[in-house]
Amino acid sequence: MKKFLISLSVLVVVLVVLGFFYRGPLMMAVGFYYIAPGHNFSELEPATAPDYTDSANWAALPTREDSADVIPTGMSLDENSRVKVDVFFVHPTTYISPSNWNQPLDNERANEITDSWVMRDQASVFNGCCAVYAPRYRQATLYSFVDTSEVKNGEQALELAYSDVRTAFRYFIENNNEGRPFILAAHSQGSFHSDRLIKEEIVGTELAQRMVAAYPIGFSIDGSNGLDICSQPEQIRCQVSWNTNTKNAEVILGKLGSICVNPLTWQTAEDRATFEKNLGGVVFTAGGEIEPGVTDAKCSNGQLIISEVKSDKYTLMAFGPGNYHVYDYSLFHMNLRENLDKRVAAYMRQ
């Protein structure tokens, strides 16, 4: 009987989490209730810290073949034309569990999502311009962002996650980068940490001169980290960010005051960019074909507003109908590739 009840409880959690991923605010609220860890952060020892000398603690490295190496169907890369630039990419939340406040690095499910989705559909956009480095880290579980406990469990979990990102970045700079220009990129939780990384580790240091640009996408970034906001396609030493949703989305992640750089124009102006400006969206989990004109885009009140998506490959609504958070990169894949080439070229010309 006990075994049956445990199995039933697990099933309920799975169903509720699925509801969280496919419904709006109501199911989201219920989902958060079921993925809240049942203990305080201080009650369990954190998982072992990552050793970044071990390649297993990197989701992507240029010295091996991994998911970040994938390219869109029909596209080819000229390896000889690749400029010597690195990208340090911080992945979003892929750990959604009530078991721990932070992901144990050997959690197979979280690592599988990181590799099969994030590295392919996000980090891979940089493989035409750069050598991709993407660390694994003891990411905070999703509930950490809504935790309101008096002991600040979520805040402590996010602090631990950031300490890993900072350690990985310092290791990357000291052991891998060898003084080359670099790009800092991220999504969602990764952008939350990268915002702080920019402020504490880059702005005001010699690294700021070597940074081509930063792409902390998919989080409410307000620009207070001290880095200029990119307002032109070839501008360097600046940052771009956006949060994609329709005008009538039930959940909106972009806030008034958030950075919104339109990935179809690479400007902050609130003019609508038409479908024709979209060079192609790519969803590797749905085949990897390039689909030109898949959506339009307009910055408004800290949000990147799209009117529609002309494809049936963008169906996962993690934060409810109209919120395209998980496709912040995918919808603008080819525009990102083109822009990276332009910014890198501009950096090299200086």
The three-state secondary structure class of 339 is helix
User: Based on the domain organization, do 250 and 130 belong to the same domain?
Assistant: yes
Tell me which of 206 and 6 has the higher pLDDT.
206
User: Based on the domain organization, do 258 and 113 belong to the same domain?
Assistant: yes
Q: Residue 194 pLDDT > 60, yes or no?
A: yes
Number of domains in the chain: 2
User: Based on the domain organization, do 306 and 265 belong to the same domain?
Assistant: yes
Q: Residue 19 pLDDT > 50, yes or no?
A: no
pLDDT at position 18 is 42
User: Based on the domain organization, do 116 and 146 belong to the same domain?
Assistant: yes
The three-state secondary structure class of 34 is helix
pLDDT digits (tens, 9 = 90+) for 153-172: 999 999 999 999 999 999 99
User: Based on the domain organization, do 125 and 71 belong to the same domain?
Assistant: yes
Local confidence band at 16 (pLDDT 50, 70, 90 cut-offs) = very low
Residue type, 110: A
User: Based on the domain organization, do 13 and 26 belong to the same domain?
Assistant: yes
User: Based on the domain organization, do 84 and 149 belong to the same domain?
Assistant: yes
Query: Whole domain around residue 14: which residue ranges?
Result: 1-34
The encoded tokens of residue 345 equal 């070229």
Helical pair 2-22 and 25-34, crossing angle rounded to 10 deg: 150
User: Based on the domain organization, do 4 and 110 belong to the same domain?
Assistant: no
DSSP letter, residue 65: -
User: Based on the domain organization, do 193 and 258 belong to the same domain?
Assistant: yes
Q: Residue 1 pLDDT > 90, yes or no?
A: no
User: Based on the domain organization, do 26 and 149 belong to the same domain?
Assistant: no
Do the Cβ atoms of 80 and 87 come closer than 8 Å? Answer: no
Do the Cβ atoms of 86 and 210 come closer than 8 Å? Answer: no
DSSP of 243-276:
-EE-TT-SS----TT----BTTTTB-S-PPBPGG
Closest CA to 327 of 298, 284, 293: 284
Q: Residue 23 pLDDT > 50, yes or no?
A: no
Q: Residue 220 pLDDT > 90, yes or no?
A: yes
DSSP letter, residue 174: I
Q: Residue 138 pLDDT > 80, yes or no?
A: yes
- Pairing of β 86-90 and β 182-187: parallel
Q: What is the mean pLDDT of residues 108-124?
A: 97
User: Based on the domain organization, do 260 and 190 belong to the same domain?
Assistant: yes
Q: Cite the beta strand spans of the chain per DSSP E.
A: 58-60, 86-90, 131-135, 182-187, 211-217, 228-229, 238-239, 244-245, 281-282, 290-291, 298-300, 303-305
Q: How far apart are CA 343 and CA 183, in angstroms?
A: 10
Mean pLDDT, rounded, of the chain: 91
Local confidence band at 77 (pLDDT 50, 70, 90 cut-offs) = confident
pLDDT digits (tens, 9 = 90+) for 275-328: 999 999 999 989 999 999 999 999 999 999 999 999 999 999 888 899 999 999
Local confidence band at 33 (pLDDT 50, 70, 90 cut-offs) = low
Do the Cβ atoms of 311 and 300 come closer than 8 Å? Answer: no
User: Based on the domain organization, do 29 and 114 belong to the same domain?
Assistant: no
